[in-house]
Structure 1
Amino acid sequence: MTSHNLVLDDLMSVLYTNFLTDGGLYDKCSYTSRDRGWVLGINTVSDQGNRDPRYFFSLKTDRARKVTTIAAHRSYLPNQWVHLAATYDGHLMKLYVNGAQVATSGEQVGSIFSLLTLKCKVLMVGGNALNQNYRGYIEHFSLWRTARSQKEILLDMGQAIHRQDMPLPQLVLQDSLLNVKNTWSPMKDGSSPRSKFSYHHGYLLDTSLDPPLCGQTVCDNTDVIASYNKLPSFRRNKTVRYRVVNLYDDKHQNPTVSRQQIEFQHQHLNEAFSRYNITWELEVLEVKNSSLRHRLILANCDISKIGDENCDPECNHTLTGYDGGDCRHVRHTLFNKKKQNGVCDMDCNYERYNFDGGECCNPEITEVTKTCFDPYSPY
């Protein structure tokens, strides 16, 4: 379906769909470039066929050399209603899923269309300029002259169609698509899209939750936060139990943090969350283990990443030997001079030299808690 003669520059498009439409604003005059304009849809990010389909937002201004595409961080789930928003303010592209910002890019700059090609644009919903069609449901579609803020997008989620008596000068188009024949022109022969009664206005959005990352809890999930802010019933009195694991050496000395620090943090947690009717209940677990006390835990640095011939920024640390040497340029002549000399030579303490021939993980030669970076060593 298309709506003609829409002149837009900085814009925001909102779709509330079951399966996202491949749709957008296209250049219908240029036969040399069919990727000008913007597109909001579902596309695969994997090279292996139809695997890993994700929501995406792509944009190419008239002055840009190539298109920019940003995508959500996880695959979309079929048969789930979702609120999508894409914004561009002349500097930043942003993609929102259920009110959460999931992707941004600053590669595109300036107006989307030049003055010479403003009349060449066609808005399409339910397909794209390449005649790739969409099958699914759309509840409503909104188009704005200015990029909406995240706060405004969250408000839009609570009111699918704006009240007609409210003056909204920046709103170019809003449509519930209940009577497409009066507003839209079909792009191909055949019957128009059928309207279907929808009874889901309780906003049954996609609320499936991913397992939290290491160091995070379900309370860090944006879907949970959005629901907590919207639903008063979620804000009744709650008690959150949490545990602080404090490491000591074998003699119960040299704690990681002092008891005063723990109490100070506990006090501030209760002060910060009391306004939300949340009380924190503290448990302190004291572990006496000198070996564990002298180890360093790096968040997101999986042991398999060290020495894998790729420089992983999360492992680029002095206590991993700069990712097992992957993040450093090493002179090969050094190792032949220093190998098997009974000393841990840090210049050779990299995976490609077997961590100085194993000498840097030998407790009889060196203090392995500071020099052993071999992920396969027990030290």
Structure 2
Amino acid sequence: MTPIPNSRIIYKAVPKGFPVPGEHLVYESNSASIDIDNARLHGGALVRTVYISLDPYLRGTMRDPSIQSYAAANQVGEPMKSRTICKVIRSEDPDFNPGDYVLAPNGDWSLHAVFTKADGLTKLQKPANVSLSTYAGVLGMPGLTAFLSLRAFGRMKAGETLFVSTAAGVVGSIVAQLAKLAGLKVIGSTGDDRKVEWLKEELKLDVAFNYKTTKVADVLKEHGPIDIYYDNVGGETLDVAFEHINKHGRIILCGFVTEYNKGERSSYGVKNLSSKAVSKTLSINGFVIWDIVDKEGLDAFQEEYRPLVEQGQIKYQETRYQGFEIIPEAFLAMFNGENLGKTVVAVSEE
């Protein structure tokens, strides 16, 4: 077969603030090609990308490689990488057959790619009653993050109060629902009135509010104190949580999205940490998901959590985009709060 174009999103330059479509992330439709029938597989599999996962943590991979972090830096001039859900086209590995769906944990943002088991390629079974794209969201790393971090650090008890920021995001919404199922009162913040309504009407949160129009401190003063704060944003919200958390409270640090695009601007300094953490005997846990994964946790995820999703007890939303050319804009829109739930891009048919 004649080589065909291999559409890609190239990471062109390190952004100082918000990434700019066409400057830092660039769509290229004809700069690379691939011979589907003759490409070398190196004992692995040639795949066609179906879904690309967009996640806030990826902004941290767009940095100078000399700066160390928990996630590897993407390489300037190369395709951007993230979790991708793909379909096998050809294979030299007996564990992967044409037609199989697979997850590439660090897949290229390209239409076709070659992966091996050494790249972490794993076979997927189509889930019951939900889309294959849920492997990028509620049945994938975000779901695992919410489930295992609550399991490891939450020590949830019925009757307690949990506050979660970015409650309409995929991790926050799962945390909120797991807490409700465990009998907790749940307070959730988000930055959009449409999302507030979803949290109230669909997820049945006890309190949901728009932090852009209502002060976090006012809500926690009225509806707190809280026993658990699940933090996805950092900054001032974290500082306020220290003021309104009970003795022996738990703070789970999952993300700090308010800091991701500040560039050279100084980060928000948490003022209440030293005075409140000691006097209130708080447990504060930051984590990277792969550091808390073990066989027992993975088994519990499959046996306890997955059925909740497939049976509709854990609700989810996807903000889905279509096509490679839209990815840079979709990535920026995620940081502007335009997504509801998980952001995923469909780049080819299942």
TM-score bracket for the superposition, by shorter chain length:
under 0.3
Higher RCO (CA 8 Å, separation ≥ 6 residues): 2
TM-score normalised per structure 1? 0.18
Q: Give 1 or 2: higher helix fraction.
A: 2
